Structure 1
């Protein structure tokens, strides 16, 4: 790509993030936390703010440790009403709200200086604890229960409970029930002391827990597992990401592991020795087991043991050999695996009870291998494939329910329509463009005429590829879906992404949602524009 083409590409992407309706747009700003590990979930922002009014688009920017959210509403009054709030709390973080229209800054600044607002904010205007003006004296226990029900940050539970005896009594009624319903992430509690305080107070109510080993601190894993074992005696679902664990710790937490029904074990890169035989053997009551890892772990095999209650197993790790483990558990009904050469032998002799099979491949599958998959005939077949010229082999697998295709330049528009015609049970379809092949919306509309069972359709365009989708496209798809005999709702997600090199780092994301007829069709359109610093520019 020469410099002219690069600048044209940058202009094309920058144009996507241009805000036309300035007066209907607000800016929300916050500092990026030091421990921030990801970007804002734009759909979560959209879902949170739409309660104030209909949203046209949502944008996200990161520059120099500051987050910027631009929310374009369909009605200017909605934007003005939010600007008057001056601050909102989202995802446990406070954001400053400002109008994007610069001329409005002075107006809203003057409005915020009226006496009523100033009096409300003065510390000396707070009511005395002895008077009836104290809101805590006015609210009865039912009101406090309703307030406590709306507390979402589990890190606040312990401190709220310790405010006073009345708070403690009501908190003990409300918070344990909330904890039982949620998936607790231990690092939402931020500090070691808060973690132990929380688990000491509410650990017996925790039924689902996530723990991820801190980076460069594998030594704390054993410590935290022992703390979890001490307090969480009713844990049944455990999501655990680790690089190391000692046999001594496994023996000490045996009673915790023996009660688990669902284990999601993720082995981080560099994991050299985890005694899987002892660890998984201790989880004797498992009904669901997931094992995932990167390609750089040194563990080679799942243990040759029988877990009599195990009905679902996911193994997403090429370095780990799983044949003998699966052979010892022929009762399993649902399996997710990476395709291997001895797949047909394993399933032909030992896995006759499998009803739901999900296969992932990182390479092409031969015609003979497709035939082997077709002979299995599970009730539901999910495939993730990387296609070259083998697309015709898929047309014979009529029992496919979920299909994810990484397509190359040989994938043609007609293939998409043929997929819809020959796979009558297809409920979810994802197309990932590997090269400069671009499916147009005209073809997508033709495909939807035949996909009567389709509920989820995702398209990930190739790098730098931008496809237009407008309201008239949405309305046309709504009419197709309305004519389907089964009245099944269709969810469409469209992803456009690029990574460019420039003189500044930065990230931009834009979300557009089409849901005028949400009972029929919901369309999410997302643009991701990632700019990396061009070090070669300095050297030049």
Structure 2
């Protein structure tokens, strides 16, 4: 059968084609379409300059590749492949880029055109090299990872959400975090308490969401430091998620604007949780961890004494959250 020109997608005007291409969220697929013809190249490059782009693994891998660790590790982009065409990046995960090419500048980055990073609203930073704990309970992070983190943070000037995974958060990285930050998530992160206090003294008032989780053996003082610092500096928190490893911790600060509270890790007493909820008068939902799940009578009593609390979830303690005392 002879193909008719009327059956070709090329009969559509540029606006229609651009609208169709905007539904292709996989960046690899868009970049592949550039090679189809000159018109596709012009339309896709123009679209990537104006469309909001989300650069993370879900928008790079195909569904069949998600469970293939070799694909996950091998599919990386050079900076020139992304920053040269994507001019409005809303979400960026550092793991999608390849920083092995030193000729492009600092760790494979090129400063020629990175204007797309100025739109980044959400940034996810993960250490590229396996981090290990040193004798002082900090994580061992190499210089190349630090250089990468600082480079990205200095260019994400409108950052609202930061997720950090598996490295030591030093004072130089914290200094690069924009004061526009609203949501901070620290997963398996170590830090010097003095550095973190200095950071919260300048950024804490702006934060509306904070998460801290560290599934490792740590001293009791880290639990106390986290709770003390956020209660001292983060008065506008609306969502708080904490993994606390020591049942000996009995202090919980006052959070007048908090709407959602999650406490994971080791189980705590009903008395501790009632004290915490009383210090959060606007709390509407909570997810709490117990050694032994409370009775239905406790839930009924909470519904009576905390009328604003509409969603209450209890979960049992997991043995993986055991910590070592120093």
Structure 1-normalised TM-score?
A: 0.41
1:394 to 260, 273, 279: 273
Question: Structure 1 residues 331 and 136, CA, compared in 2 at 3 Å: closer, same or farther?
Answer: closer
Indicate the residue corresponding to 1:277 in structure 2.
171
* Per-residue deviation, 1:151: 1.9
Q: Is the 8 A contact 1:395 1:423 kept in 2?
A: no
Q: Is the 8 A contact 2:50 2:88 kept in 1?
A: yes
Indicate the residue corresponding to 2:24 in structure 1.
151
Indicate the residue corresponding to 1:165 in structure 2.
38
Indicate the residue corresponding to 1:309 in structure 2.
none
**How many Å separate the matches in 1 of 2:47 and 2:241?**
43
Task: Describe the superposition over 1:360-385 as per-residue Cα deviations: whole angstroms up to 9, x where unpaired.
Answer: 2234366x63xx53xx2512152415
**How many Å separate the matches in 2 of 1:284 and 1:199?**
23
Write the mapping of 1:129-528 to structure 2, written as runs, cut at 5 A.
131-136=4-9, 138-178=11-51, 180=52, 182-185=53-56, 188=60, 195-196=78-79, 198-212=81-95, 226-227=108-109, 230-235=112-117, 236=120, 237-242=122-127, 243=129, 244-246=142-144, 249=147, 253=151, 256-257=154-155, 259-262=157-160, 264-268=162-166, 271=167, 276-288=170-182, 290=184, 292-294=186-188, 299-301=190-192, 304=195, 322-327=196-201, 329=203, 331-334=205-208, 336=210, 340-341=223-224, 346=229, 350-351=232-233, 353-356=235-238, 358=240, 360=242, 361-364=244-247, 369=251, 372-373=252-253, 376-380=254-258, 382-384=261-263, 390-395=269-274, 397-398=277-278, 399=281, 400-409=283-292, 411-434=294-317
RMSD: 4.3
Q: Which structure 2 segments of 5+ residues have no match?
A: 62-70, 130-141, 213-221, 319-326
* Structure whose CA Rg is larger: 1
**Structure with more of its chain in helix, by fraction:** 2
Q: State the SS of the aligned residue for 1:166.
A: helix
Q: Is the 8 A contact 1:155 1:198 kept in 2?
A: no
The total of aligned residue pairs comes to 274
Q: Which structure 1 segments of 5+ residues have no match?
A: 1-124, 305-321, 436-540
Q: Is the 8 A contact 2:125 2:149 kept in 1?
A: no
